[in-house]
A = this chain, B = another copy of it.
Amino acid sequence: MKKRHLLAPGPTPVFPDALLAMARPILYHRGPEYEVLLGRVREGLRYLFQTKNEVLLFTSSGTGGMEGAVINTLSPGDRALVIRSGKFGERWGEICEAYGLQPQYIDVEWGRAVEPDTVAAALAADPAIKAVFATHTESSTGVLHDIEAIARIVGKTPAILVVDAIMSLGVADLPMDAWGVDIVVGGSQKGLMIPPGLAFCAVSEKAWAMVRQSRLPKFYFNFQAERKSLEKNQNTFTPAVSLVMALHESLAAIRTEGLTALFARHDRLARATRAGVRALGLELFADPPTPALTAVAAPQGIEAGAIVKTLRNVHGITISGGQAQLKGKIFRLAHLGYADESDVVLCLAALERTLSDLGYPVKLGEGVRAAQEVLAQAG
């Protein structure tokens, strides 16, 4: 017998109460029970997004929410600024281009965060820019961007700031209203501890003003229609009811834990993981790193794919390798959502064994020891 552990950056393991909720008889999405449930979910999402705004809900992967954020705010010919520092920053650009927009790009070395000053310079150079598309945690590199600083810059202009927060919603702090972020896109399968299939878009008043003017075509991902429906505790189109039932459970759990404790837990797991990885002599890939996952450079002479495969086939642990230009070069250990100290410990222990199997010189126990020292600290 081999236990299986899912430590990839999404989908993350599903919270047991959410699994059970999905096994209950399904609710009718036009009935009174569902309306009560959706009302509570709307409240819970506002708490999670730290906003007074309505958080729109779509049945789709997170990418659908990203597409919605582009097509509901912009019009043909509009200027946009896209920050690209990995595969998901690139996705903002691909969506814009699919709709005939020609965004300006800020290209950042993969593994690094954008310098907020370069955003200020780009906006100053082109005052016609209507929207800045950024990424909170770039999943492909494990970097956390300084959204607070970027929001301060964009907030002084007529442009809106749109942030892909799919990877670290409920993991890294992103107080939307306090920082002045205009659209935050989230997904269900990361910090929310439920399966993929729901995308979220929280939209500020500044962004709604643009939504009312937007002329790019849209139907399924229509922000105005969905807002109108949600205000009646309805969805425009048949929603993924079982996922909304699961979401209701996970939002309740998040509220019980509290955002402060939630962010502290993730920070602690991330610091412990990084300490363990460094103690094994490995190099961290991301600077600055996200609390959602730890990207590690594969050591000289070992293909990252071999580490991923050995962890899965020999130790029952699913992690992720690198994507696109990082394929074979990095591997990514996730520690978010329904995750605690035991996950960090078992992951590092298996990593030690794996590296040893692959011929990398490792002192067994060193990674776990270093992580333990972080975990033993208060807070």
Q: Which residues of A contact B (CB under 8 A)?
A: 4, 6, 8, 10-11, 13-14, 19-20, 22-26, 28-31, 59-64, 67, 94-95, 98-100, 187, 189, 195-197, 216-221, 237-243, 312, 318, 320
Contacts and interface: CB of A to CB of B under 8 A. Distances in A.
Task: Indicate how many identical chains form the complex.
Answer: 2
Could you tell me the dominant secondary structure of chain A's interface residues?
A: loop
Given A196-B59, A238-B62, A30 B11 contact: no
Given A31-B312, A220-B64, A241 B196 contact: yes
A217 B25 contact: no
A59 to B, nearest CB: 5
Q: Which of A4, A24, A197 has the most B CB atoms < 10 Å from its CB?
A: A197
A14 B59 contact: no
B25 A197 contact: no
A6 B26 contact: yes
B6 A61 contact: no
Contacts of A216: 217
B196 A239 contact: yes
A14 B242 CA distance: 10
A67 B219 contact: yes
A196 to B, nearest CB: 5
A95 B219 contact: yes
A355 to B, nearest CB: 21
A87 to B, nearest CB: 12
Nearest to A31: B318
